[in-house]
Amino acid sequence: MTQGRPVTTWAAAAERAGAGLRDLTVRNLVRTGAGGTGLRVRLTNALGDRPVTFGHVRVGVPRSGAALVPGSNRRVTFGGRPEATLAPGATALGDPLPGLVAPRQRLAVSLHLRGDGGVLTGRNRATAPPDDPAYRSLPGDHAADESGAAYVEGVAVWHWLDALIVTAPEPVSAVAVLGDSITTGVGSETGHGWPDLLADRALLESWPLAVVNEGVSGGRVLAAGTGRHAEERLAAEVLAKPGIGAVILLAGVNDLGAGARAEPLVAAYRRIVERAHAAGVAVIGGTLPPFAGAEYHTAGGERAREAVNAFVRDGGVFDGLADFDAALRDPAAPRRLLPRYDCGDHLHPSAAGHRAMAAALEPRVLLGAAGQRPGLGRRAAGSGRWMPRGR
């Protein structure tokens, strides 16, 4: 795999995820989308309140819990230096690592935090034990440890990790999902939401795509929450990352729950599409699923949802449609989720509901929006495993 282009193979939205970490190592566990070579790690201090220094950063292959496959843990450098300091709002891109990364490969990114981390820029992830997405260590630098013994706390948050980038074959691109807690996987029981299932489907059906999850719990289109509002997130978390050919937009139900009307949401959707198109990125519009019975559902919010969905379907703005409303609603009560698709809060889909969402995207729509075509073999996304010697 000697030729290709940079493609984002994993990414996470930025949100404020607590504070109080000091002089320890965090080990983030992730799974790639597309395969490729020259893996690069991008770190972020987007929402931090002070400079953050990472003394050592390493990437290895997880074995069990926080433990790594022996010999797989590689040192990451930044402009040839082993450490990186990020000012508030800054990102840092690591130098390329040799070796091949496979599609849907699990990786462990270990960051040694030197000093006080201040406000943590991370991403809370819906999860269920024992699938912790990250571990925190005893004090000190444990980035090089292959054993998981020093990593004493499993947590449901990724730390300071913004993206993983590979050089992928030319047909391969990425699709980013810009969404809220439904996108992060809330309600799915396992923590693997519909974008994860869509990524698995892409590999199984040999689509030349990585699916990257830019969901953030509580996310809104018109206002900031734990993270930034959707228009700002589009610029900072999608368009700033390489190789993304399309965006799936599924956001707005939290705005409706907060009393937003349809017109401002539609106007924001238009701006998002215009900005994405200006950057050469297509946008697939996702209809907002039913949420009658949820704590913040109102008659006004329902009317707005129906108006927004009519625009998504028939407004002529989007490059494709993902009709999640049709996939999840109860035919006998279309303002509600089908009971088997309801996790119980009448807002978030169940595990079966997340599967229905992943199945709702037609390949021709998804691949067409990303500038691709069906039928390209799995080899286009790489088929080997990354198992180089540690150093």
Residues 30 and 103 in one domain: yes
Residue 59 backbone dihedrals phi, psi, to 5 degrees: -125, 125
Residues 133 and 213 in one domain: no
pLDDT of res. 372: 59
Residues 19 and 148 in one domain: yes
Sequential DSSP letters for 341-369: GB-SSSSSB-HHHHHHHHHHS-HHHHHHH
| The pair of three-digit structure tokens given for residue 217, joined into one six-digit string | 């719990």
pLDDT of residue 48: 96
- The domain that holds 326 is classified in CATH as 3.40.50.1110
Which structural domain range is residue 96 located in?
15-164
Model confidence pLDDT, tens digit, residues 285-336 = 999 999 999 999 999 999 999 999 999 999 999 999 999 999 999 999 999 9
Q: Indicate the pTM of the whole model.
A: 0.92
| Structure confidence by residue, pLDDT tens digits, 135-175 | 999 999 999 999 999 999 999 899 999 999 999 988 899 99
Q: Is the pLDDT of residue 127 over 90?
A: no
Task: Assess whether 305 and 345 both reside in one domain.
Answer: yes
151 and 217 within one domain: no
Domain boundary among 114, 140, 164: 164
Question: C-alpha angle 31/193/224, rounded to 5°?
Answer: 95
Alpha helices (H) in the chain, listed in sequence order: 181-184, 194-204, 230-233, 253-257, 262-278, 299-314, 324-328, 351-360, 363-369
pLDDT at position 365, please? 87
In the predicted model, is pLDDT for residue 384 greater than 50? no
pLDDT, tens digit, 9 for 90 and up, residues 325-367: 999 999 999 999 999 999 999 999 999 999 999 999 988 888 8
Does a structural domain hold residue 368?
A: yes
Residue 279 is assigned to a structural domain of this protein: yes
Q: How far apart are CA 330 and CA 70, in angstroms?
A: 50
Kindly state whether residues 112 and 200 are assigned to the same domain.
no
**Cβ atoms within 10 Å of 150's Cβ, excluding its own:** 18
Q: Is residue 111 part of a domain?
A: yes
- The pLDDT, as a whole number, for residue 226 is 78
pLDDT, tens only, 208-240: 999 999 999 899 999 987 789 999 999 999 999
Same domain as 186, residue 133: no
Do 211 and 232 contact (CB within 8 A), yes or no? no
What is the structure's pLDDT at 381? 35
pLDDT of residue 377 exceeding 60, the answer is no
Helix axes 351-360, 194-204, angle to 10 degrees: 50
Residue at 277: amino acid letter: H
Residues 336 and 244 in one domain: yes
Q: Count structural domains, the chain.
A: 2
Residues 258-291: tens digit of each pLDDT = 999 999 999 999 999 999 999 999 999 999 999 9
DSSP states along 173-201:
EEEEEEESHHHHTTTSSSS--HHHHHHHH
